[in-house]
Structure 1
Amino acid sequence: MWILYNVYKNFKNTNSISYPKIFTSGAARICTNSKKEIVQFPNYTGPGAKSEIVFIPDENNYFKLRENAFKSGVNVLMSDIIGIKRILPDRRPDACKKIKYPENLPSISIVITFRDEPMSCLLRTIYSVLETSPENLIHEIILVDDGSVDEELKLAVNIHASNVQKLKLIVHERPLGLMIARTKGIEQTKSDFFIVLDGHIEVTPGWLEPIIHRLVQQPNVLLTSHVGEIGREIFEFILDDQYKLFCAFDPITIIEEWLTYSWAFRDTRNGSVEPIEYGTIPGMMTAMRKEFFYKLGGFDTGMEVWGFEHIEVSVKVWLCGGHVEMIPCSKIGHLYRDIPWQNMYPDFDYKTKNKLRFILVWMDGESKKLALEALHRGNYSKQIDPGDLSDRFKIKILNKCKPYEHYIDQLRKISNPFIPRNVRKSGNIFNKATDKCLEITSIEGIFELITSHCGDHVSQFCVLTDNMNIRISSHWIKLDGRKKKLSFPTQAQNLLVPELKWKFDEINGFIISNTSIGCLTVNNYGQVFLKTCNDSPLQKWSWFP
């Protein structure tokens, strides 16, 4: 604890803070044979890049510490080893580094929300922003503690907020949920622009200027950075190709997913580092002009606890006169961990409520019908109350928002997503011989088709498209032609390929691959595979309802 409390004393007088360190693994060789060593961690440079390792007699001590450290979902032991000051490497393309931004860029307010965050992760988020951002561009950093109970964390944050200029702390004695916490933070900002960050983010050099510059250029834009991953074991920084994937959501299950840019769209980019269209922002980073944010009603505070607020705000930006973009020249890292908000109300299905509010207000047509049908399956309750939606519908009217199809049109410009349209059938696929239904399941990440007792499960929810593709839950049923086995991708760039098309013989009940004479067949163990059609009852299926 003294390490974290003493940081302010040294903060202004040094570029590096030297801490006694403890054992490390993965990022450096296991140090069990020497009393003390200096180890260079890979993947980042700057203050704290060299770590002093203190001897631990044997590996068992480390693994005991590590097991305890992972109680919060990440290796807090390693996080504490790294300390609260490090600078991630500058991963910007050379073209980004050559851009000269105006000297008169306005300052921006940054809101960081947290609840029982690992202390070193949260403080590293704060100092990452302070260390890598030009001082004149940071108007303030608003810290919103949404009901933390960790007394050591609360004391540490209070000490830093009291001693570091530009930090302001807002404390909620009881948790209000992520949407309200973020809203309360934005309400306290003094700048015309804001960025909302999770409490487990690290930014990289040059991340801020392109965000502010774009907000000045385009008043009606919702922005996110190019987000990489910080590993939860050794906290390495992993950054994928910025032109490959974009954040969106499954059109039926409304589960967040990453979609692939079409090759045609990527060709039009030609390696450009200009802002790039996104489907929706990921939830960990939001940047907007405050006036536009409030004009669209802000976050939906009728949603509760955590989840889908970023989907709601993204779709309504597209529908109500704005654009959603990722800024390739702004790179940040996000630590994927268990979110404390998730465990606030274990018996309350808040995710369904949040999805339901989004679907009822912003979706329409066949997309809305199928999303509602999928939502009301499994543990989801048709009796759940979405709450008052009148203010959300007023937003649509006042801003003359376009139909949901406009959002779909934006996706089609950058990708080839599946959008429900002219669906032939939806429901369960029933096997007459076994009296069971088709279901998709997975064991250790390997998906397979089985049959099980028919129920109101989303894993049994099937859609037959107008192109004769079969979708079960969020997976396509595809024939792997080389192995003559079934595969189950979640994305399909071209639904017209024969491997994704099926013939449904409604008279005889066969589901036949378009590439062969094989039929979907269930065996005595409930496994479903492709077998030569032989008129067996195990090959006869029907749809219901």
Structure 2
Amino acid sequence: MRRKTRKLLTYVVGVGLLVLLITQLVRYRQEKVAASRRKHRESMLHQEEKKLFPKHKKGLELSDDLDRIDWHDHVLIKRDQERRGPGEQGKPVDLTAEERGPHAYEECGFNIKASNKISMDRAIPDIRHPNCATKKYVQDLPDVSVVIPFHNEGWTTLLRTVHSVLNRSPEQLVHEIILVDDFSDRSHLGKELEDYVAKLNPKVRVVRTKQREGLIRTRLLGAQVAKGEVLIFLDSHCEANVNWLPPLLEPIALNKKTIVCPNIDVIDKDDFHYETQAGDAMRGAFDWEMYYKRIPIPDEIKNPDPSDPFESPVMAGGLFAVDREYFEELGGYDPGLDIWGGEQYELSFKVWQCGGRMVDAPCSRVGHVYRKFVPYKVPAGVNLGKNLKRVAEVWMDEYKEHLYRRRPHLRQTNMGDISGQLQLRERLKCKPFKWFMKVVAPDIILHYPPVEPEPAASGEIRNKASNLCIDSKHGGAQAEVRLDQCVKGGGIMNGEQDFRLSWHNDIRPKGRTFCFDAQMKGGTLILFACHQMLGNQHWLYYEEKQQLLHKVTGSCLEGNSDSKSLFLSECNHKNPMQQWSWEKTNSTYLHMMNTGKCINTPEC
């Protein structure tokens, strides 16, 4: 009996060792094949990358010398076109009054009740440029690790992100999807999530932080455990669109020192309808307070085919693809950055200044839910201004002074030790920020000059009929702007009556970044964060008629002396309640604005 037991034990041990040996051989073979694929591809594409990226300020032209295939999943496309139901085809979800109420937003900062009515596999409209439908991409593309960080995310938005990636990606290109949980405390994101993804697809897994780390370090954790050749970072409330992956990967296949961003569409926070952003394909930029902006593509770098990739100075931040080895070579994100904010500038500046490049791929489209508000608090003691100061001190050289002039409190902000980042910049032999501004982003200064031009009009805005002044009362977003007794006429001293009609064609209180905003004819005048993109904040002042015209509605600003309200009304130059006098005006500048010779540009 003992002899039989010993033989059986020997047999089991032998089989176990054999399985372990085979596993190691298979893993070694896979790694060798992956290395061989990369070496073969880089060898074949060494000359092709020069054709794709000839020079700065030139269009990115694709070569026809390589084998390219149609990566579209035509069966899925046809099936998606036939789908019907709530939110299908990107249409708005029907909601009751209660479902539209404030409680629907408390959990996630967007209407989770709308999301919960929509299928995980819903179809969204293919709103790509028509040329994208016939484009072919390199046959030998790298595989990817899709990293999705989250903290207390809604169940349906998180999993719809995962489903859309799995459904609309070629299976052989997806090495894994990594959901990185940043210390969530909602029960559905624990074992329930792990069980769900285990049944969904073996390529999906959940990893977790041991404490609250914030978005930046959570992304880094995902990158550290990833095994795919390319890292793709997505937010946890996205939907990948038709054939999104090949156009995101081809520029990296042709030049691994390239970061590629998809065209980000809008999933409405209220009813989850799907639409393109205003202006569609545009370059990423920033103003000198370091707020992210989008600006038109200059004519000199526009591609003959608008569906081809184009260079962009900075990324929006949350959605991009980067070669995993190159990301490590760049040092990933600065580990001294806290929670979120500024990381998109740090990585963008580093890529460009240190020998890489960044492009947007118009044929790669991903929808994103822009929250109504951030539903969680920043941990006590964290100063997000620290991030901007670290970026400025490491990468922006003398240009950092433009930031400090607008945010002087940053001069006293403790940014921690940056010696490691300065050594990284030296080791990578990075170019100065002046080079970045002159070669990569000369158009930013045209839209956001470091030194602001003088306003076209300034000071108090006094109503002719009532002799009352416009007063914003130091309000914030959505605060109503009203009439009040003029401060200079002996009125109350806690008012805010000093305004600027800026070269952005907006009106704002002096030294602040809230602007006059109105939604429709008859609507009241409110303050809203200045976006410098015209639209609801586009104003013209006609000095002779003394009228303030709201350009997008064609209405004029009118006051009511009894209620002290301000609203848009049909223009009538004979109505004294529509007549306003500014304290100071620049007539030449106003004329250029009004005749279209100077619209949202400092060159006036």
TM over 0.5: yes
Distance 1:261 1:92 in 2: 17
What is the correspondence of 1:373-452 to structure 2 with a 5 Å cutoff? Answer: 373-377=405-409, 382-409=411-438, 410-412=440-442, 416-420=446-450, 444=478
Q: What residue is the counterpart of 2:146 in the other structure?
A: 110
Give 2:388's match in structure 1, choosing from 355, 369, 376: 355
Classify the secondary structure of the residue corresponding to 1:123: helix
Report deviation, 1:485. 5.8
Classify the secondary structure of the residue corresponding to 2:386: helix
Report deviation, 1:43. 6.0
Q: What residue is the counterpart of 2:72 in the other structure?
A: none
In structure 2, the CA distance between the partners of 1:192 and 1:339, relative to structure 1 (3 Å rule), is farther
Query: In the TM superposition, what whole-angstrom CA distance separates every residue of 1:203-242 from its partner, at most 9, and x where no partner exists?
Result: 0110001111111012211111000010112111111466
Q: What residue is the counterpart of 1:336 in the other structure?
A: 370
Distance 1:487 1:448 in 2: 17
Distance 1:64 1:274 in 2: 41
Report deviation, 1:350. 2.5
Report deviation, 1:246. 2.6
Q: What residue is the counterpart of 2:89 in the other structure?
A: 44
The answer to whether structure 1 residue 515 and structure 2 residue 515 are counterparts is no
Q: What residue is the counterpart of 2:68 in the other structure?
A: none
Report deviation, 1:439. 10
Output the TM-score relative to the length of structure 2: 0.62
Distance 2:474 2:434 in 1: 29
The answer to whether structure 1 residue 188 and structure 2 residue 220 are counterparts is no
What is the correspondence of 1:485-504 to structure 2 with a 5 Å cutoff? Answer: none
Q: What residue is the counterpart of 1:213 in the other structure?
A: 250
Query: In the TM superposition, what whole-angstrom CA distance separates every residue of 1:329-381 from its partner, at most 9, and x where no partner exists?
Result: 10110011267685132x4353211111111111122x31121132234xxx6
Q: What residue is the counterpart of 2:104 in the other structure?
A: 69
Cα-Cα RMSD: 4.2
Higher strand share: 1
**Greater radius of gyration (CA):** 2
Q: Is the 8 A contact 1:320 1:400 kept in 2?
A: yes
Q: Is the 8 A contact 2:311 2:359 kept in 1?
A: yes
Q: What residue is the counterpart of 2:34 in the other structure?
A: none
Q: Is the 8 A contact 2:100 2:111 kept in 1?
A: no
What is the correspondence of 1:82-481 to structure 2 with a 5 Å cutoff? Answer: 82-163=118-199, 164-240=201-277, 245-251=282-288, 253-262=289-298, 264-265=299-300, 268-337=302-371, 343-345=377-379, 347-365=380-398, 367-377=399-409, 382-409=411-438, 410-412=440-442, 416-420=446-450, 444=478, 472-473=511-512, 480-481=541-542
Distance 2:216 2:282 in 1: 26
Distance 2:422 2:549 in 1: 41
Distance 2:550 2:382 in 1: 28
Distance 1:321 1:92 in 2: 30
Distance 1:375 1:296 in 2: 28
- The alignment of Structure 1 onto Structure 2 pairs a total of residues equal to 431
Q: Is the 8 A contact 1:260 1:415 kept in 2?
A: no
Q: Is the 8 A contact 1:141 1:166 kept in 2?
A: yes
Distance 2:475 2:297 in 1: 28
Q: Is the 8 A contact 2:355 2:430 kept in 1?
A: yes
The code of the aligned residue for 2:586 comes to S
In structure 2, the CA distance between the partners of 1:75 and 1:239, relative to structure 1 (3 Å rule), is same
Q: Is the 8 A contact 2:178 2:205 kept in 1?
A: yes
Report deviation, 1:306. 1.3
Q: Is the 8 A contact 1:460 1:473 kept in 2?
A: no
In structure 2, the CA distance between the partners of 1:100 and 1:231, relative to structure 1 (3 Å rule), is same
The code of the aligned residue for 2:447 comes to P
Gaps of 5+ in 2: 1-75, 77-82, 461-471, 514-529, 533-537, 552-582, 592-604
Q: Is the 8 A contact 1:305 1:341 kept in 2?
A: no
Classify the secondary structure of the residue corresponding to 1:416: helix
Classify the secondary structure of the residue corresponding to 1:82: coil
